[in-house]
């Protein structure tokens, strides 16, 4: 697969993942707010939710930025 195709697929995957991720995290955040938990559990949740998406997106970016296989042969 050529790098341009991987980048197109990677952008679609990243956008789709982030939309679903944000919606799921909003549901969990709303559940925490509805339960009336304290400040520190909410802070811990938001800190976790704020960075938990990074490894997945980093893997997608790493995959889509690989050079083409035929580039090394030139």
Q: Is residue 42 within 8 Å of residue 33, measured between CB atoms?
A: yes
In a domain, 73, yes or no: no
In a domain, 15, yes or no: yes
In a domain, 29, yes or no: yes
Domain that residue 48 falls in: 3-65
In a domain, 25, yes or no: yes
- Residue 6's pLDDT band, with cuts at 50, 70 and 90, is very high
For 26-68, the pLDDT digits (tens) are 999 999 999 989 999 999 999 999 999 999 999 999 999 988 8
In a domain, 60, yes or no: yes
Task: Quote the number of domains for the chain.
Answer: 1
Q: How far apart are CA 30 and CA 25, in angstroms?
A: 8
In a domain, 74, yes or no: no
In a domain, 9, yes or no: yes
In a domain, 72, yes or no: no
Q: Which residues contact 38 (CB under 8 A, 6 or more apart)?
A: none
Listing DSSP states for 8-58 in one string gives HHHHHHHHHHHHHHHHHHHHHHHHHHHHT--HHHHHHHHHHHHHTTHHHHH
């Amino acid at each position: 697969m050529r790098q341009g195709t991987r980048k197109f697929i990677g952008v679609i995957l990243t956008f789709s993942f982030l939309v679903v991720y944000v919606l799921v995290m909003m549901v969990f955040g709303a559940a925490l707010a509805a339960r009336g938990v304290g400040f520190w559990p909410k802070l811990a949740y938001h800190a976790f939710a704020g960075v938990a998406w990074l490894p997945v997106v980093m893997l997608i970016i790493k995959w889509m930025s690989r050079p083409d296989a035929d580039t090394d042969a030139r």
